[in-house]
Structure 1
Amino acid sequence: MRFLVVGGSGLIGAHVVDVLRERGHEVTATARSARAGVDHVLELGSASVEELRPLLSGLDGVVYAARTDEQAPLRKPIHPVFRQDMVDPVVRLFAAARQENLSRGVIMGSYYTYFDRLHPQWRLPERHTYIRCRVEQAAEGRAAAGPQLPVAVIELPFVFGRAGDRLPNWAGPLDRWARSRSPLAMPAGGTAATTARSVAEVAADALEQASGADLPVADENLTWQDMIARIAGAVGRPRRVGRLPGGVVRAGMRAGGMMQALGRKESGINPSHFADLLLADLFIEAPTGRSLDPAIRETFGPAA
């Protein structure tokens, strides 16, 4: 089969391209800038449906693997900005895919939509613009695709690994912290985690099966303390990770939210409610059980 991977030079997209080609599929990769492995330079944020259709003509499926920075504070209101970055391009992409009669698609989403379904009482879309836009992205992308073009949404947790010089966007600060002489401490709670290779395999399976499912992905569920301890070991500075009291975490996050409000700014994940997420067990059942250690070493090893 023939596929287009939008964001094909990024951490996830590059692995999707590799896995699909290993399985014998023909793949075209697009990205915002020219680099090795990119077949077409595409600014999806400004591309119209009519501009996208030639790229999709004659293909079987399309993968949306572009990345969004949910933490950067922006001037209020940020919802229109996030929609322009996350939702509108996906709607146009899948509208074009429908018009070109593609038969399958994948959106790289977030595990926050999984927890929104699991715990609606957390009111995640109401509290966090990034999560609201992830929910809108999945719903509106599928609506644009129509029933004849099933679209799987892969709900990503923390993803370890590398693709050339591409690393997870959160890896840099944790790498510097783990290498420093500063004490390490994390709150209670934890997160599901996976690898870029595992995500790519799930994406390839979804495309081959023409799945339209929500697909949460996890290889292991880690406490925050365990995750930071394993990162410290990977950088060659193994040491004990202490426990941050929940009250300290909540006070720090509230202070961050107040500082943003005073500056008339917001971020996609609202600091005032972020402590609730940090202190929760953001675990996905059931994880595959594949060890994350090789991907953690790849992410935080000497070349990181």
Structure 2
Amino acid sequence: MHIFMIGGTGLIGSEAARELLARGHTVTTLALPPLPTGAVLPPNLEIEYGNYLKMSDEEIKTRLSGCKGFVFAAGIDERFEGPPPIYDSYKKYNIDPVKRLLTLARESGVKHTVILGSYFAYFNKLWPDMELTKWHPYIRSRRDQEEVALSFADNNFAVAVLELPYIFGVQPGRKPVWVFLVEMIRGMKKVTLFPKGGTTMVTVHQVGQAVAGALERNEGGHCYPIGYYNMQWKELLTIIHRYLGCPDKKILTIPNWLFGIGIRKIMREQKKRNIEGGLNLDKFTALQCSKQYIDKSLGCEILGVESDDIEKAIGESILLCLDIIDKQVETVAMKAE
């Protein structure tokens, strides 16, 4: 299968391309420059640097011509901040492109598509009483993105949305999402204070397998919750402490209200700067302190995702964060265009 991907030089996109190429597919990608220093991409990946948002429909259809698969591995996540209403930015980069690109893909003869989404959309369906789309613009945008994507699915056009959790693994030169957490832990000198709850997680290699599995196996329209390893925050922090060089540092579980105090401080700082985040941090406390677990049978096993060394992937991520914080390396952060 020949596959066109948007975002194929990023952490997830490049690993998905590597997996697809290993399975005998061919992959071309359109991606934003620059390529991070030190990044190693699959040698057979055909790369064009450019911004699809500034291309005409005909220019994009030219790149889709002859392809049977399409992967959207671009967009922005909950880290993105901007002037309110922030939902408008998520609509611009996550929702409107899916509607446009799937229209062009179907017109160009593509048969299999994969959209990289968020596991927050899964928990929105699982826990309706939390009203996650009411309080969190980012989660609302991921729900809306799924609805748009699935509206295209039929017997001749398969659409899979991968509801991705926290992902461990590195691409040299690419800033991990975990820098903030490492900075926070290092700032707590004697003991690490963290709330109860936990999360599901995968390695970046497992995400690559999920993308390939969705292109090869999915029929019709489906959302796949992706989770393989479920850990309490305390379990994850124990591993992180080891790579930070403080394996004996104590971890104290704090009550939700105390966690909320710290998180509201961040919101006040956002307000001073006249920016809004994708998550309402005050309301996010309840979600952060929950067990955001996903059984691997719901998505990973269906798509053929295999076990991997999650502790090694966590360690690689934390060590890169340390190098960034200590200014040992230069990295590229997330960018929209």
TM over 0.5: yes
Which of 273, 278, 292 is the aligned partner of 2:310? 292
TM-score of the aligned structures, taking structure 1 as reference length = 0.91
Within-5 A mapping of 1:144-223: 144=152, 148-168=156-176, 170-179=177-186, 182=189, 183-211=191-219, 212-223=221-232
Q: In structure 1, what is the Cα distance between the partners aligned to 2:230 and 2:50?
A: 36
Q: In structure 1, what is the Cα distance between the partners aligned to 2:170 and 2:231?
A: 20
Specify the code of the residue in structure 1 equivalent to 2:261.
A
Q: In structure 2, what is the Cα distance between the partners aligned to 1:90 and 1:46?
A: 15
Q: 1:78 to 1:98 in 2, by over 3 A?
A: same
8 Å contact 2:77–2:138 — kept in the other structure? Answer: no
1:227 aligns with 2:236: yes
Unaligned runs of 5+ in 2: 301-306, 324-337
Unaligned runs of 5+ in 1: none
Q: 1:63 to 1:286 in 2, by over 3 A?
A: same
Residue number in structure 2 paired with 1:20: 20
8 Å contact 1:107–1:152 — kept in the other structure? Answer: yes
Q: 1:174 to 1:258 in 2, by over 3 A?
A: closer
- 1:213-243, Cα deviation, whole Å (9 max, x unpaired): 2111112111112212211212322222221
Specify the code of the residue in structure 2 equivalent to 1:141.
A
Q: Work out the number of aligned pairs and report it.
A: 303
Secondary structure at the counterpart of residue 148 of structure 1 = coil
**Aligned alpha-carbon RMSD (Å):** 2.3
Q: Which moved more, 1:285-294 or 1:87-96?
A: 285-294
Q: In structure 2, what is the Cα distance between the partners aligned to 1:121 and 1:6?
A: 35
Residue number in structure 2 paired with 1:40: 48
Q: In structure 2, what is the Cα distance between the partners aligned to 1:128 and 1:100?
A: 35
Which of 110, 115, 119 is the aligned partner of 1:107? 115
- 1:71-105, Cα deviation, whole Å (9 max, x unpaired): 34322222222201111112111111011010001
Specify the code of the residue in structure 1 equivalent to 2:228.
D
8 Å contact 1:178–1:231 — kept in the other structure? Answer: no
Residue number in structure 1 paired with 2:283: 273
Q: 1:147 to 1:87 in 2, by over 3 A?
A: farther
Alpha-carbon distance, 1:181 to partner: 6.2
- 1:194-229, Cα deviation, whole Å (9 max, x unpaired): 111001101101101244321111121111122122
Specify the code of the residue in structure 1 equivalent to 2:240.
I
Q: In structure 2, what is the Cα distance between the partners aligned to 1:299 and 1:159?
A: 9
| Percent of residue pairs identical | 31
8 Å contact 2:228–2:294 — kept in the other structure? Answer: no
Q: In structure 1, what is the Cα distance between the partners aligned to 2:149 and 2:264?
A: 34
Alpha-carbon distance, 1:263 to partner: 5.2
8 Å contact 1:220–1:291 — kept in the other structure? Answer: no
TM-score of the aligned structures, taking structure 2 as reference length = 0.82
Specify the code of the residue in structure 2 equivalent to 1:273.
K
